[in-house]
Structure 1
């Protein structure tokens, strides 16, 4: 069986990456239940990207979007929220638009550390927990208590999570290097890259479930 890595490049505060992750999860589940699953094993790997590396530690989300994305126009903001809600609902996601935003460096640091030390399954659960907390509960994306709670949801002990989250130097140099590396090739997220025997296929933007399925099937067909 061919072992393929699916690299998902994201920022934990980007709604389009959340939608893409939900759709990719559905596509992977569909592929894994098909006869083609015997030819390829897909492992999800996460690469960090910061939409705004200079973002402050904390900002009111509604106000920040109003000022920085919608030019102070409340109607435009309402249209955006309605549009995103319509996209999210079929995926089982109840989006919230209130709460706090913040710099995501330490969220990425924690994800990358545990991806390296605990493996892809734990990293996947951690990403899902962070997404849900930010987009569906309105929680800050990188406060210590939020990161620790997400780690515990992912199966990491509270003691180990507290140590890694609390010591801001653990994994910091590594994640900064990875962010620099990723930013050389990526200027928008999400990006999904599927490795194949003959070629890699890269999809930019939040694609529909069927497009992810077709890509997984294409790689499988080329890998036999």
Structure 2
């Protein structure tokens, strides 16, 4: 299985696995954007988003609140769960994000990931990813509803009818599964996960400084700087293009 499509030599490709229902993934997106903003070669970076479902078995219909889900998963009651949510909300605020867990509606994210694949084919992948994250964590939109997804798709420039048709037919379900199979092959078990240049991985919502350092390291390795010539401007004999200058002669001798 081919994990990555090579990009052009002058580009640095960054593949990012994340889930729409992952609060750290939205934080990680902001931190990566901050790192990229201060990266001198930012215009040569190509970002590709990949699907990852933290809970592929999650129901599509409306269910428990996030607080109830956390209380059941980690124990300690809803008071402990609320403390976890408050801490995450404060962390997100530090990145300029507004989380409203009291409005959040947990659901299966498979169809939303399919919508991102459709948007990628129209050159709108990052805009769609951003819109879905904001809709889920800030606005409390229910992403298990195809009509909601069609409306959100239209907001970033997609055709709502095309979104409905793609979701109803499951057109991108296989693409979502392929992304998740790639993650498994790479040993990715948590998100966000960044793969730089097809060979270096960064796990988690690292700081902008760490992410920028990774960008700089991979860029330096994959795009070596040209040699700096010392003593340039000082005449000196040399052989070039099959010819050697011979001292004391006006012409060059061609070496056969």
What interval of TM-score do these two structures reach, taking the shorter chain for normalisation?
0.7 to 0.9
Q: 1: distance between equivalents of 2:29 and 2:188?
A: 17
Q: Secondary structure at the match of 1:44?
A: strand
Distance 1:178 1:220, change over 3 A: closer
Gaps of 5+ in 1: none
Tell me, yes or no, if the aligned pair for 2:68 and 2:78 is still in contact at 8 Å: no
Alignment of 1:1-224 (within 5 A): 2-31=10-39, 34=40, 37=41, 41-58=44-61, 59-71=63-75, 73-98=77-102, 99-115=104-120, 117-119=121-123, 122-165=124-167, 167-184=168-185, 185-195=187-197, 200-222=199-221, 223-224=223-224
Q: Secondary structure at the match of 2:38?
A: helix
Q: 2: distance between equivalents of 1:30 and 1:141?
A: 33
Distance 1:183 1:61, change over 3 A: farther
| Deviation for aligned residue 1:47 | 1.1
| Deviation for aligned residue 1:86 | 1.6
Q: 2: distance between equivalents of 1:182 and 1:11?
A: 12
Tell me, yes or no, if the aligned pair for 1:102 and 1:140 is still in contact at 8 Å: yes
| Deviation for aligned residue 1:145 | 2.4
| Deviation for aligned residue 1:63 | 4.8
Tell me, yes or no, if the aligned pair for 1:85 and 1:95 is still in contact at 8 Å: yes
Q: 2: distance between equivalents of 1:133 and 1:71?
A: 28
Q: 2: distance between equivalents of 1:183 and 1:136?
A: 30
Which structure has the greater CA radius of gyration? 2
Q: Secondary structure at the match of 2:141?
A: coil
Higher helix share: 1
Q: Secondary structure at the match of 1:5?
A: strand
User: In the comparison of the two structures, how many residue pairs are matched?
Assistant: 212
Q: CA RMSD in A?
A: 2.0
Q: Secondary structure at the match of 1:202?
A: strand
Q: Secondary structure at the match of 1:57?
A: coil
Distance 1:138 1:72, change over 3 A: farther
Q: 1: distance between equivalents of 2:197 and 2:95?
A: 26
Tell me, yes or no, if the aligned pair for 1:192 and 1:202 is still in contact at 8 Å: yes
Q: Secondary structure at the match of 2:44?
A: strand
| Deviation for aligned residue 1:148 | 1.4
Q: 2: distance between equivalents of 1:218 and 1:85?
A: 32
Q: Secondary structure at the match of 1:207?
A: coil
Distance 1:155 1:19, change over 3 A: same
